[in-house]
Amino acid sequence: MGEPLLDPEGQPGLTPEVLCARYSDRVYRFAAMVSKNAHDAEDLAQTALERAIRARSRFDHRRGDVEGWLWRIVANAAGDARRGARRRRLMERLLARQAGLVAHQGPPETADEVLLAAVRRLPHRQRAAIALRYGADLDLRAVGATLGVSVAGAGMMIRRALDRLRTELTHKEMQP
């Protein structure tokens, strides 16, 4: 059993309710960026929060801060979800076809939807880096620590992802 969970200010008593209230918005923003659709994003955010709540007793403040501990849990949950998502989508398509339903997701319309769709098409490592940096609002050191790469490596991954997004969005805007 680890030490009592401390919040980022070093105060004890980060209860499940406080953990959810403090981090659910950022966890959802991260999940929305790394997942392929809104349904997967909700599932991931819920699973990640649930895992964090259940893992609170194992948190040890001597091994790192709450942020690092939390985002490693969230990133691991995202990795697990990504591995299972392809199989699940295949099954859903099969069931929808058998039931005579055609899954239809309309094309993105608003600027945010276009950008989100472009983020979701990034390779998964770049997508995770972008989601941690701009969804979870982590600095480069924390992004690197969560993904297991150096600060320079995290910066490089994010720069490449931004270049790719910029190219894709520019190309889209030039189309009639």
- Structure tokens, 156: 């490089």
Assess 37 for contact with another protein (CB under 8 A): no
**If you count them, how many residues does the chain have?**
176
Should residue 137 be labelled a site residue for another protein when binding is judged by CB under 8 A? Answer: yes
Please state, in angstroms and rounded to a whole number, the distance separating the CA atoms of residues 137 and 90. Answer: 32
Task: Using the minimum distance from each CB to another protein, give the nearer residue, 93 or 166.
Answer: 166
Contacts of 159 by beta carbon, 8 Å cutoff, 6+ apart: none
> What x-and-dash track marks residues 44-83 binding another protein by CB under 8 A?
-xx--xx--xx-----------------------------
Token look-up 């959802």 returns 28
Cβ at position 17, least distance to another protein in Å? 7
Task: State the angle between helix axes of 140-147 and 66-98 in degrees (0 to 180), rounded to the nearest 10.
Answer: 60
Chain residues in the site for another protein (CB under 8 A): 16-17, 20-21, 24-25, 27-29, 32-33, 42, 45-46, 49-50, 53-54, 111-112, 115-116, 119, 130, 133-135, 137, 162, 165-166, 169
